């Protein structure tokens, strides 16, 4: 017997996120009635994660669905929603949820105008587009935004997918998304830079060297916040910072590289935060500024 409150779900966008969330909703006994998939990769992903679900045109999916999940790139979302509104596709009482981190429900105003219910459900997770993501959802949170009367619906959908909903105010969505992108995306860049440097000095398996260090650092940072801060900048070890900056300048070829710029930017941010926490004195801040090639006083605390 079907569980009460089961919905006919349409997935627009069989990318890594859409296909996985569709599979999670299906596991919660909702019926996935159709999925849109244009590229060969998305069609293959739909076959693997949503076997038996028909690949349909977008308008057909909207027509058949009680819940439409819009898993498309941020920049395509507004045009898609508006275009479907002009075609009269949205239906009164229909649930329409997007997975964009940047936007809340304001971008779904054309949906609201048609009498449908807008929801923003953003999973704070990096997706592979494979079945292992379904397990990862169990440790995942979603940034949820909806009109107050509709928040319980949004929260219930997230819980059904096995994740934890966290309410984000409409006006805070961009800052929310920036915080996630800054931590996750830039971590990948930093690891890639460090791995590249180690490999070029002859370390055959940089991941084996970096893995234990980075895992411990992340665990400490999550558990203790800035109390876990260590290293030459936090210690005020100006000589080491200066040596690092010179070595990275030579590594980058003097100009045009990205490693020195990243090191300088993160060292500057670290130094400011260390001063604000009382780990460094203001005069040490200026010395670090000079060591990084900045003008004295450029790193004055906030």
pLDDT at 4: 60
What rounded mean pLDDT belongs to the chain?
92
CATH number of the domain encompassing residue 80: 3.40.50.720
Residues 129 and 14 in one domain: yes
Question: Cα–chain-centroid distance for residue 296?
Answer: 36
CA separation, residue 252 to residues 104, 108, 263 (Å): 40, 45, 12
Is residue 164 assigned to a domain?
A: yes
Does any domain span residue 213?
A: yes
Last residue in a domain, options 117, 145, 168: 168
Can you tell me the distance from the alpha carbon of 10 to that of 146, in angstroms, rounded to the nearest whole number? Answer: 19
Indicate the residue among 123, 150, 168 that finishes a domain: 168
In the predicted model, is pLDDT for residue 54 greater than 90? Answer: yes
Asked if residue 189 and residue 141 are part of one domain, the reply reads no
β partners of residue 68: 10, 96
- 147 & 228 share domain: no
- 207 and 161 together in one domain: no
CB 31 within 8 A of CB 55: no
Cα dihedral across residues 212, 214, 220, 226: positive or negative: positive
Query: Are both 55 and 157 inside the same structural domain?
Result: yes
Same domain, 13 and 159: yes
Mean pLDDT of 207-226: 95
pLDDT of 82 > 90? The answer is: yes
Looking at the 3D structure of the chain, how many domains does it have? 2
Average pLDDT over residues 105-116: 98
Judge whether 48 and 35 are in contact, CB under 8 Å.
no
76 and 181 fall within a common domain:
no
In terms of domains, do 109 and 205 share one? no
Q: Is the dihedral of CA 109, 127, 136, 35 positive or negative?
A: positive
130 torsion bin: left (phi>0), alpha (psi -120 to 50), beta (else): beta
In a domain, 300, yes or no: no
* Res 1: pLDDT: 43
pLDDT for residue 277: 87
Q: What tens digit of pLDDT does each residue of 14-27 get?
A: 999 999 999 999 99
Number of residues that make up the chain: 302
Q: Are residues 160 and 189 in the same domain?
A: no
SS3 state of residue 128: coil
- The answer as to whether 301 is a domain residue is no
The residue from 168, 200, 223 where one domain ends is 168
Note down the domain range covering 51.
Answer: 8-168
Highest mean pLDDT among 130-134, 143-147, 289-293: 143-147
61 and 110 co-located in one domain: yes
Question: Could you tell me if 218 and 187 lie in one domain?
Answer: yes
Residues 14, 155: one domain? Answer: yes
For position 297, what pLDDT does the model report? 47
Q: Is the pLDDT score of 302 beyond 50? A: no
- Give CA–CA dist 93/114, Å, rounded: 9
């Amino acid at each position: 017997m079907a569980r009460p409150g089961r919905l006919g779900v349409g997935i627009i966008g069989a990318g890594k996120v859409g296909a996985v969330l569709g599979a999670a909703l299906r596991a919660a006994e909702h019926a996935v009635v159709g999925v849109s998939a244009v590229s060969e990769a998305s069609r293959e992903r739909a076959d693997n994660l949503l076997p038996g679900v028909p690949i349909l045109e977008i308008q057909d999916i909207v027509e058949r669905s009680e819940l439409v999940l819009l898993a498309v790139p941020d920049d395509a979302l507004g045009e898609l929603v508006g275009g479907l509104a002009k075609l009269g596709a949205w239906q009164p009482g229909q649930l329409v949820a997007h997975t964009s981190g940047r936007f809340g429900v304001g971008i779904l105003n054309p949906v609201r105008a048609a009498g449908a219910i807008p929801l923003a459900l953003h999973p704070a997770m990096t997706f592979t587009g494979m079945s292992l993501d379904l397990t990862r959802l169990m440790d995942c949170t979603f940034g949820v935004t909806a009109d107050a009367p509709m928040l319980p619906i949004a929260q219930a959908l997230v819980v059904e997918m096995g994740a934890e909903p966290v309410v984000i105010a409409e006006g805070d969505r961009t800052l929310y998304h920036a915080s996630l992108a800054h931590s996750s995306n830039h971590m990948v860049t930093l690891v890639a830079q460090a791995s590249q440097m180690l490999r070029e000095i002859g370390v055959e398996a940089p991941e084996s060297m970096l893995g234990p260090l980075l895992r411990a650092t992340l665990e400490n940072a999550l558990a203790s916040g800035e109390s876990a801060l260590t290293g030459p900048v936090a210690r005020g070890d100006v000589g080491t910072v200066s040596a690092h900056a010179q070595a990275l300048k030579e590594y980058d070829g003097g100009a045009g590289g990205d490693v020195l710029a990243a090191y300088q930017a993160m060292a500057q941010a670290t130094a400011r935060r260390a001063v604000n926490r009382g780990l460094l004195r203001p005069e040490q801040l200026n010395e670090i500024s000079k060591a990084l090639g900045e003008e004295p006083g450029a790193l004055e605390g906030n």
